[in-house]
Structure 1
Amino acid sequence: MTSSAIADAILDAAKKYTLSVYFVILFCGLIGNLCNITLFSSLKVLQRNQCAFYLMVASIVDFVLLLLVLPLRVTDYVFGYDPTKLSIVWCKIRQAVVAQFSLMSFASICFAAIDQYLSTHYNPQLRQFSTFKLARRLVISAIIILILHSIPFFIFFEIQSTAGCSIYNLGFSRYYSFVHFCVLSGILPIMFSGLSAALAYLNVRRIVRHQIPIVRRRLDRQLTAMILTKVAFLVVTTSPFVIFRIYQINRAAIASTNYIQIAVEQLILTVTSSLFYINSAVNDIILFDIFF
């Protein structure tokens, strides 16, 4: 079998994987996020809880993100139709919105993990920083900052015949690859949320020793379990994508005649991308199950 035939077989496997897995992620993600939004908005005990507020924001953002990204990924991979390659307006809007919403999802999880650490801390001075008023201010501030952050995406994303909707400015391309993908969408969320969730877990284990009402104690345990689950999925599903992106940035350029390596990297990118979006999908069903 020739190298081109092997490459075609690998690309065909990537298309079949995309068609099957992305549909499952989209279906489960939309239902799971809707369940979460309903849960956080209907239960009175959660309506004024800042940690639940952060998680509800994350669910809303994830719902929109999945609805905006995955259907177009499927049509592009399987049917070869991508509106972002045909409309410059849609190209710019989609990239800017996806960048903003993905970072907002990560920010919400980080806020929730940090808040849960503060709200379960034995030190009353630290617990004072965990308020619903502060939660709303942080979310509004994050939205404003991310809107400003998305402005360069409107400017630098263009459509050209060589690569379609992409960045053709070298400086912003480096920022997009190194800072946006590797740092803002990977290293920072993993570090902040992971550390805060672990500390919150240790705090909850100490709660038994304090004179705290049983209802509050149970709620703290449930919310901490939700945060730990969310963070665990974030680490597991985001890390492969970030690692592969770092590899792509640092590896030497691939010769256009190396069909097999190009196809293999396309397959790996497809799999790691699906893991990246699983973080916004399957996780939400697990979070919903914790309360029922």
Structure 2
Amino acid sequence: MSTSLSLIGKQIIIYGGLPVFIAGTVGGLLNTLVFLSLRTFRQSSCAFYLTIMSILSIIQLCLALLARVITAISSVDATETSLFYCKSRLYLINTCNVISMTCFCLATIDQYCATCSNLHWQQFCNIKLARRIIIIFIIIWILHGIPYLVFYDHVSLPNTNKFICIVTNQIFDQYRGFFMVLGLIGFLPITIAALFGSMAFRNIKEMPYRTVPLVRRELDKQLTVMVLVQVVVGIFGLLPYTTVFAVATNKNLTSDPVIQAKLQFATTVTVIIYYTYFASPFYVYICVSERFRKQLFYVLFNIHLNRWRRRRIIINHVAPET
């Protein structure tokens, strides 16, 4: 039974993970392009957080999901052959993950403050402050991830010449499982995003009765809807894996080989669902925001395609085609 579940799980990783990786990478690049090309977004603190999220999502999909797909296809795990790769990959994955979740929470909090009727809270929504906050959190999480470089190591399997990449410190293993996975990248961001997202939604419903400039009102509505739907997608994407991981921490269950195989299979399935969270933002924005769709077409065709055509014309004038 465990062998058949393992084979099915490998196929799920290959045929489920590869489309998620391709779609997520393309979507992340388009998100980044739109956010960086339009001045409206470049001056918005919420859009700044979403831009950082898009960049980190691409890195996360490459380091984590693509590596899983390659391992499933080739049946060769590079973490077992290279100690440097073993340490650095896990360090980068977890550091990028927690920074991304921080941006997810900050974007939700930012939209709550931006849509608040109290001017004091609105003052926290500025791009300069957002940049400082992100720099501080990046430094904190980079330093926080150092134990991954220290406590992950190669351990040889009994009666074989193979090595596995695992945590060699029991205290850090418990900290990683309960505080990192279940807390920082699990239930905590879901709770914060859901709380501030619901309050931002309430503020948006009251906004038509306030005296707010039209341009800002439309931008706040657009970003709030984008963030709120991303919160819902995040809950459905993050919660299954976090729940399965929480169940897997029960040592009484994992001592049974059959239950362990089922939990491993459930982990494989929920991992794909987990990475749809990183792959979905662009498609969420396209579906829920007509304004974002127009901005995407404007950026692609009016800005970059025209710029490419002008360059072609200039090149042809300098060196005529023969």
Alignment of 1:183-262 (within 5 A): 183-252=183-252, 254-255=254-255, 258=257, 260-262=258-260
Q: For residues 66 and 171 of structure 2, what CA distance do their matches in structure 1 show? A: 30
8 A Cα contact 2:244 2:263, kept in partner: no
Q: For residues 75 and 9 of structure 1, what CA distance do their matches in structure 2 show? A: 20
Q: What amino acid is aligned across from residue 242 of structure 2 in structure 1?
A: V
Cross-structure match for 1:277: 275
Of 92, 95, 100 in structure 2, the residue corresponding to residue 97 of structure 1 is: 92
- Say which SS state the counterpart of residue 81 (structure 1) adopts: coil
1:48 aligns with 2:35: no
1:33 aligns with 2:7: no
Alignment of 1:1-292 (within 5 A): 6-162=1-157, 164-252=164-252, 254-255=254-255, 258=257, 260-289=258-287, 290=289, 291-292=292-293
- Say which SS state the counterpart of residue 280 (structure 1) adopts: helix
8 A Cα contact 2:112 2:199, kept in partner: yes
- Say which SS state the counterpart of residue 122 (structure 1) adopts: coil
- For normalisation by structure 1, the TM-score amounts to 0.94
Larger-gyration structure (1/2): 2
- What are the ranges of 5 or more consecutive residues in structure 1 without an aligned counterpart? 1-5
The alignment's C-alpha RMSD in Å is 1.4
The higher-RCO structure (CA 8 Å, 6+ apart) is 1
Q: For residues 214 and 261 of structure 1, what CA distance do their matches in structure 2 show? A: 57
| Cα drift, residue 253 of structure 1 | 5.0
- Say which SS state the counterpart of residue 164 (structure 1) adopts: strand
Q: For residues 46 and 254 of structure 1, what CA distance do their matches in structure 2 show? A: 48
| Cα drift, residue 151 of structure 1 | 0.7
Cross-structure match for 1:3: none
Q: Deviations over 1:185-223 (max 9, x none)?
A: 111101111111111111111110011122221111110
| Cα drift, residue 283 of structure 1 | 2.9
8 A Cα contact 2:113 2:121, kept in partner: yes
Q: For residues 199 and 109 of structure 1, what CA distance do their matches in structure 2 show? A: 15
Q: For residues 262 and 80 of structure 1, what CA distance do their matches in structure 2 show? A: 21
8 A Cα contact 2:253 2:260, kept in partner: no
- Say which SS state the counterpart of residue 212 (structure 1) adopts: coil
- For normalisation by structure 2, the TM-score amounts to 0.85
Q: What amino acid is aligned across from residue 219 of structure 1 in structure 2?
A: L
Which stretches of structure 1, 4 residues or longer, exceed 3 Å deviation after superposition? Answer: 253-256
